[in-house]
């Protein structure tokens, strides 16, 4: 296949766009997709102070690299989950990446704080993924608030969000469907959350990382084995193979035509409190994270 733009040999074929690209023009395409997402969903501008949530994986490192390259004021925020060798490897990738590109970072170490995920999993009657998600959200909100960031950016891609949408629709979770937009508004202490990679698939993000020498941890988190999100991703991959563009159409049409109805419903029901223990905004008088810590103590 030849590159759509220059006619040279293509390095990647994108069936949903019916196009192939060489490295130069794939990079151009990739940046354009991110710029479109930022503009369409009014995510942020150059005056904003952006905290990029980093895991050491391809999506978050690519996002951090790209926003920095585009000239935005970014700081990486990494939570060391304390999951043995996996966390050690991911921390190494984050540190190496930060040093190589001269980027600012903030690191929260759960082991040093006394509640690594492995310990919480033993004491709290929830799945490791649920515990991890609650814990990371807590620290993302806490660090963003304490350091006066304007924006919290995450590396969720189209595959991630389409799979989440499928799961939330099949199980019919209105409260989660109300939080599916690529840009969620700020709410007092809670900063605006955005997903600039929303127009790009996992394959496209991986290709960008490979072509631009972005070295990331390729291992899957050992705690994610058997996660239902992988079942939904596999189902959508099957549909995408037969009908290229399915993921984008499924997610983008939901955001365009339906998401606002669930958002309005959730806003009307919402009553925020300040957690009496940690002082961070929550729907509960004692937030879920602090309740988990109480069980450990």
| Predicted pLDDT of residue 270 | 65
| Predicted pLDDT of residue 189 | 81
Range of lowest pLDDT (24-28, 121-125, 252-256): 121-125
For residue 266, pLDDT over 60 is answered with no
For residue 86, pLDDT over 90 is answered with yes
CB neighbour list of residue 202: distance below 8 Å, 6 or more residues apart: 59, 157, 158, 159, 160
Q: Which domains does the chain have, with CATH numbers?
A: 41-296 (3.40.50.620)
CA 293 to each of CA 83, 114, 146, 154: distance values in angstroms, whole numbers, following the listed order: 17, 10, 20, 25
CA distance 3 to 22: 5
Quick: pLDDT tens for 166-220: 999 998 888 889 889 999 988 878 899 999 999 999 999 999 999 999 999 998 8
Neighbours of 242 (CB within 10 A): 7
Is beta strand 183-184 parallel, antiparallel or unpaired with respect to 192-194?
antiparallel
Determine what percent of the chain is predicted with pLDDT higher than 90: 80
For residue 283, name the pLDDT band (cuts at 50, 70, 90): confident
CB 204 within 8 A of CB 210: no
CA distance 243 to 257: 21
| Predicted pLDDT of residue 282 | 86
The predicted model gives 219-234 an average pLDDT of 88
Going through the chain in order, the beta strands assigned E by DSSP cover 12-14, 19-21, 49-54, 73-80, 104-109, 151-153, 183-184, 192-194, 273-274, 281-282
CA nearest 115: which of 93, 138, 91, 143? Answer: 138
| Predicted pLDDT of residue 267 | 55
CA nearest 6: which of 22, 17, 19? Answer: 22
Sign of CA dihedral 132, 153, 95, 56: positive
CB 40 within 8 A of CB 46: no
Neighbours of 245 (CB within 10 A): 14
Burial classification of residue 47, based on how many CB atoms lie within 10 Å of its CB (0-12 exposed, 13-18 middle, 19 or more buried): exposed
CB neighbour list of residue 182: distance below 8 Å, 6 or more residues apart: 37, 41, 43, 161, 194, 195, 196, 198, 255
For residue 290, pLDDT over 80 is answered with yes
For residue 272, pLDDT over 70 is answered with yes
Neighbours of 46 (CB within 10 A): 9
Quick: pLDDT tens for 9-65: 999 999 999 999 999 999 999 999 999 999 999 999 999 999 999 999 999 999 999
φ/ψ bin of 82: left (φ > 0), alpha (ψ from -120 to 50), beta (otherwise)? left
């Amino acid at each position: 296949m030849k590159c759509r733009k220059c006619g040279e040999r293509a390095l990647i074929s994108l069936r949903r766009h019916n196009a192939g690209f060489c490295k130069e023009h794939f990079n151009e395409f990739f940046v354009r997709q991110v710029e479109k997402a930022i503009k369409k969903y009014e995510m942020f501008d150059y005056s904003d102070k952006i905290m990029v949530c980093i895991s050491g994986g391809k999506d978050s490192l690519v996002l951090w690299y790209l926003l920095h390259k585009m000239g935005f004021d970014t700081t990486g925020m990494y939570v060391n989950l304390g999951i043995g060798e996996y966390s050690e490897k991911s921390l190494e990738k984050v540190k190496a990446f930060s040093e190589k590109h001269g980027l600012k970072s903030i690191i929260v170490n759960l082991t040093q704080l006394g509640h690594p995920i492995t310990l919480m999993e033993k004491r709290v009657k929830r799945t490791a993924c649920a515990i991890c998600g609650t814990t990371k959200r807590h620290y993302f909100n806490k660090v963003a608030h304490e350091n006066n960031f304007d924006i919290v950016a995450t590396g969720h891609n189209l595959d991630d969000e389409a799979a989440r949408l499928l799961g939330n629709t099949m199980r019919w979770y209105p409260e989660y469907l109300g939080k599916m937009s690529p840009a969620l508004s700020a709410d007092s202490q809670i900063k605006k959350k955005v997903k600039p990679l929303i127009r790009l698939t996992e394959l496209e993000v991986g290709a960008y990382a490979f072509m631009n020498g972005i070295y990331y941890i390729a291992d899957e988190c050992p705690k994610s084995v058997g996660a239902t999100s992988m079942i939904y991703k596999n189902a959508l991959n099957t549909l995408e193979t037969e009908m290229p563009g399915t993921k984008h159409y499924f997610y983008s049409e939901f955001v365009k035509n339906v998401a606002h109805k669930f958002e309005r419903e959730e806003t009307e029901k919402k009553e925020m409190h300040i957690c009496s223990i940690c002082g961070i905004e929550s729907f509960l008088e004692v937030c879920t994270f602090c309740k988990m810590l109480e069980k450990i103590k």
